[in-house]
Structure 1
Amino acid sequence: MISYYSAHKPYSPYITLNKQEWAALSPGSVQPLSEQEISRLQGINENISIDEVSSVYLPLSRLLNLYTTASQDLHSVTNLFLHKKTSKVPYIIGMAGSVAVGKSTTARLIQALLSRWPNHPKVELLTTDGFLYPNRVLEEKGIMNRKGFPESYDTSKLIRFLADLKSGVSEVSAPVYSHLVYDIVEGERQVISNPDIVIVEGINVLQVANDGREIPEVFVSDFFDFSIYVDAKEDDIFNWYIERFKTLRSTAFKDPDSYFRKYADLSDEEAERVAEKIWKEINEVNLHRNILPTKHRADLILHKGKNHGVESLHLRKK
């Protein structure tokens, strides 16, 4: 199988850097996050060190800050050429990757770091979970067991939301999803007002087609200025998923309101068996069919090792 970002392939669309090479690209940058802040931002069973943030995520935030500034400058030049002033539009960053690979932690770290740069951009984070159909609709459609697959999302609503953002609408809102109750929270909205940057995180945000259905004219990724795919070996992701499931038994699953309350009292062996079944029947299928094929559409691929740390970065040549 060809590695499209191999450093040994002169025709590769990516520049490949290891962690040390990447860290050297942002010398002298001051780490603005404390260990306590990093601990609050990381997900279950992840252990992101302050060195990891300094070596990987801080340089990445610097690159994104430069891209955002360049985009804003281009907007000003366009206004100058058109002899008129148009509304400011946010720089949109898309983030994709498998369930349990650490997308949410990556998104939160980037949001926190980007907002600390001297120009203090207003950075919002949106997960596409809010655009899942409510459980009652999934039940009606008979696809409750395909939650997270492309057909389980109201993609048209997500595209309208992103179109409003890119049209300069000053305030937009999105539905809110609760992982505790495993459903859309009725009547609750996430309001985004005059952002400079919006990070859109979701497993399928880079997808363009699926299951032979009619290909739409507009894709979610059409609205992205930059896209990131968080990658890892499948065996590692599977093990992270199992460990996360086992940890949730004594945390979120214990909550009486949890959709997964029935799993709270499983033994280790039972939990592993249930988690493996869910992975094999749902997450693995979705990964192979819908998520992994989009990896090489990303502008940046972050490849993580067994301990969740980023080992290499693959930046698309511009």
Structure 2
Amino acid sequence: MSIITEDSRNFMKTNPHSTYISLSREEWSSLYTSPPIDLSQIEIKNLQGIVGTLTKDEIYSAYLPLIQYLSVLIQATNRLHKARNEFFKMDTKKLPFIIGVAGSVAVGKSTTSRIIQSLLSNLPDRPKVDLVTTDGFLYSNAVLKEKGLSDRKGFPESYDLKALLDFLTEIKSGNPCVQAPVYSHLHYDIMPDEYYDICQPDIVIIEGINVLQTPKPVGDSIPSKFVSDFFDISIYVDANEHHIRQWYLERFKLLKETAFTKPESYFHRYATLTDTEAEEFATDIWNRINKVNLEENILPTKFRADIIMEKNQNHQVQMVRVRKI
């Protein structure tokens, strides 16, 4: 049965040379043909973000088709690896399949990454799936202060790009065990001498706002490697800026009532703000920092992604665009 609806035909008429296949939520959902996965409400609660909007319907309609598509690509990569070994008459170990997940602050890319990790881990062959966020590759607060970048945290220049590229190089070079630095959202800083061990993974998810950005020239030189060079596939989580801003404000208010109340929290001083004060403070941060970063650095990378998942105001995926092959 054809999945091409009138909406899709209209899109193709107005965008005849688009590099993407564009599918509505219903069209995308209809592609899933594997046996259903029964997720409990407890599992769903553990996967969702601070603003808990994840539902079983969202898992089934938006994410299971994604997992099936990723599974097809992973299997194709495995076959290609086998064919290359036969051609070169070698017996090399297959390298980890790397998935990049990008998008704005508060758009839900961390939740998307956790869902992908959980569902891929439950595939029949039970692959080992590790999730690494680029937060761990931010410069420490001390270094950011020294560089005059405290108010630019999250912008491209606030990341130790060399360390991130070295980390990805180690993974794609076949190093059986690689360490990723640890970032604490509670302390709002890198944790010194703390690392995650990424050992012999089958799949690695790299999540962060900066993963599709192209390096800016350093003096007269242009970096020769991009983070996305190491990805087997990339995903951009997208939404209207107005909705993202609202989600950011909602998240800040919820954190004010939860994580910020802990004495050791970097943001403990904001726990006593009224809701009105909290909204004013969060709005200022959004306008000065996150909005600027989104418009200047993150949004321009959207069409570098292989898959674009567009959300509506309810955090539901309403459209999926998949790059043509």
Distance, in Å, in 1 between the alignment partners of 2:129 and 2:270 is 36
2:60 is equivalent to residue 48 of structure 1: no
- The one-letter code sitting in structure 2 at the alignment partner of 1:51 is D
SS in 1 for 2:212: coil
Kindly tell me: are residues 303 and 164 of structure 1, through their superposed partners in 2, closer, same or farther at Cα, counting changes over 3 Å?
A: same
SS in 2 for 1:249: helix
Kindly tell me: are residues 52 and 119 of structure 1, through their superposed partners in 2, closer, same or farther at Cα, counting changes over 3 Å?
A: same
Asked whether the 8 Å contact 2:217–2:223 carries over to 1, the reply is no
173-182 or 27-36: bigger deviation: 27-36
**Residue in 2 that maps onto 1:314:** 321
- The one-letter code sitting in structure 2 at the alignment partner of 1:165 is I
Distance, in Å, in 1 between the alignment partners of 2:222 and 2:155 is 16
- Report the Cα offset of residue 212 of structure 1: 8.1
Q: Which residue among 214, 235, 238 is the counterpart of 1:231?
A: 238
- Report the Cα offset of residue 6 of structure 1: 4.8
SS in 1 for 2:163: helix
- The one-letter code sitting in structure 2 at the alignment partner of 1:130 is G
2:167 is equivalent to residue 180 of structure 1: no
Distance, in Å, in 1 between the alignment partners of 2:135 and 2:96 is 21
2:292 is equivalent to residue 285 of structure 1: yes
Distance, in Å, in 2 between the alignment partners of 1:27 and 1:86 is 33
**Residue in 2 that maps onto 1:297:** 304
Q: Which residue among 121, 146, 153 is the counterpart of 2:159?
A: 153
Q: Which residue among 208, 222, 241 is the counterpart of 2:214?
A: 208
Q: Which residue among 142, 146, 158 is the counterpart of 2:148?
A: 142
**Residue in 2 that maps onto 1:258:** 265
- Report the Cα offset of residue 211 of structure 1: 7.9
Asked whether the 8 Å contact 2:156–2:210 carries over to 1, the reply is yes
- Report the Cα offset of residue 120 of structure 1: 1.0
SS in 1 for 2:67: helix
Distance, in Å, in 2 between the alignment partners of 1:303 and 1:39 is 22
Aligned length: 314
1:8-53 deviation per Cα after TM superposition (whole angstroms, max 9, x unaligned): 3110000000111111111353124222101111001131110110
User: What percentage of residue pairs aligned between the two structures are identical?
Assistant: 55
Asked whether the 8 Å contact 1:32–1:116 carries over to 2, the reply is no
- TM-score, normalising length: structure 2: 0.94
89-98 or 24-33: bigger deviation: 24-33
2:103 is equivalent to residue 104 of structure 1: no
Q: Which residue among 240, 248, 253 is the counterpart of 1:241?
A: 248
Q: Which residue among 29, 47, 71 is the counterpart of 1:23?
A: 29
Asked whether the 8 Å contact 1:32–1:113 carries over to 2, the reply is no
SS in 2 for 1:159: helix
- TM-score, normalising length: structure 1: 0.96
2:287 is equivalent to residue 273 of structure 1: no
- The one-letter code sitting in structure 1 at the alignment partner of 2:182 is V
- Gaps in structure 1 of 5+ consecutive residues: none
1:239-276 deviation per Cα after TM superposition (whole angstroms, max 9, x unaligned): 00011101111101001111011110101110011000
- The one-letter code sitting in structure 1 at the alignment partner of 2:74 is T
1:167-197 deviation per Cα after TM superposition (whole angstroms, max 9, x unaligned): 1111101100000000011111010111110
- Gaps in structure 2 of 5+ consecutive residues: 1-9
- The one-letter code sitting in structure 2 at the alignment partner of 1:263 is Y
User: CA RMSD of the aligned region, Å?
Assistant: 1.4
SS in 2 for 1:175: strand
Q: Which residue among 177, 201, 205 is the counterpart of 1:199?
A: 205
